[in-house]
Amino acid sequence: MNIVEAKVIVTCPDRNFVTLKLTTDDGLTGVGDATLNGRELAVASYLKDHVCPLLIGRDASRIEDTWQYLHKGAYWRRGPVTMTAVAAVDTALWDIKGKAAGMPVYQLIGGRSRDAVTVYGHANGATVPEALEQVGSLLDQGYRAVRVQAGVPGLEKVYGVPTDRAPYEPAVAGDRPEEATWSTAKYLNFVPGLFAAVRERFGHDFHLLHDAHHRLTPIEAARLGKAVEPYGLFWLEDPISEELQEGFRLIRRHTTTPIAVGEVYNSIWDCHQLITEQLIDYIRMDVVHGGGITHLRRVFDLADLYHVRTGSHGATDLSPVCLAAALHVDVAVPNFGIQEYMPHTDTTNAVFPHSYRFADGLLYPSEEPGLGVDIDEEAAAEYPYRQAYLPVNRLEDGSLHDW
């Protein structure tokens, strides 16, 4: 079962995606998501110029050996570009192995630990009333968990909060990133009231989540975590910039609000300290940026030893290929916590036909052999790449701040 073709497909059905498609000499194909939001072409080049030539003739069944070959053999290990490329290969090989075995991938990594995957939806509003309206809509659709974000009074734009009630899109098309002004003081004074309004209107019978987008210092995050304790957050996501991991110790000393981090991580060594010192409660690494199914399982197994649960990133900057793979992992691991879910557009779904399904706040992985997702290459060709960037934040004095 040797690889005879490795193809990189770049397409933009409403947003950019990079997909690796492998074909074996017996006609089996496998797909892997290789999308790195705002830096998509860097991964596409890494794959086409440096990885795909190495895959031709390799045994597609040797997943672990291929992972080690690409990781250790490059010398320049880790990093988002490298690990996203490795993840695409790894995911595609698991897809092929599932098809060869005639089984869904979750059966190959231990079988089911649960029947379905609890997901959280996004309630975003330019104002508190708009955010409450979105919360009510998601609860009516059966969601059991909702992430709530709202515009901050006095700030023209807030990342992740559309101003026109349009679906939230992380990246904006253009030849340069958009810039916005940020004020931590205004945010900290406003956001506890948002959660108070949500709980007053809808009660406590669902999980409430919030993302701080790395914008706070440790002491500011501790203040926020303590202030929102009465509202019972399921988690406070990315409260601080994650490079200085000692900062999480200060947060832990001051609040019992659960902390979730890790969507920007790509290696087990990025989160090793946070997990082993029990400084976080949920690890947010995903299949694409976390080195594929093979490596993500290692991260989640380590987390399980320290009572840390999973909460994988799942925004629309990851294609249905990633979501399909994530669900196979989610349904299998013992320490699953929750899965982020943002439905893709109809255009994206047409390019990436899949058989996972959503019902009553739960996602169910495909039961087809492999991942249960594919890419329609003819449809993909209709949507050429377009430049897009995540926004940039500046403080009110004009200095650069975390996004």
Residues with a known catalytic role: 159, 213
b/e per residue, 141-168, with b = 16+ CB within 10 A? eebbbbbbbbbbeebebbbbbbeeeeeb
CA dihedral 196, 201, 205, 206 (to 10 degrees): -70
What is the sign, positive or negative, of the torsion defined by CA atoms of 334, 340, 345, 346? positive
Tell me the C-alpha distance between 386 and 289, whole Å: 21
Cβ atoms of 233 and 200 within 8 Å: the answer is no
Q: Which residues are within 8 A (CB) of 218 and not within 5 positions of it... i.e. 6 or more apart?
A: 240, 247, 248, 250, 251
Output the CA–CA distances (angstroms, integers) from residue 390 to 182, 211, 258, 304, in the order listed.
Answer: 15, 16, 27, 32
Q: Is 188 helix (H, G, I), strand (E, B) or coil?
A: helix
Tell me the C-alpha distance between 393 and 377, whole Å: 37
Q: Is 34 helix (H, G, I), strand (E, B) or coil?
A: coil
Tell me the C-alpha distance between 144 and 156, whole Å: 31
Tell me the C-alpha distance between 191 and 201, whole Å: 16
Beta bridge partners of 45: none
Question: What would the two tokens of residue 393 be?
Answer: 């934040």
The three-point CA angle 291-176-318 to 5° equals 30
Q: Which residues are within 8 A (CB) of 226 and not within 5 positions of it... i.e. 6 or more apart?
A: 254, 255, 257
Tell me the C-alpha distance between 154 and 256, whole Å: 30
Cβ atoms of 231 and 208 within 8 Å: the answer is yes
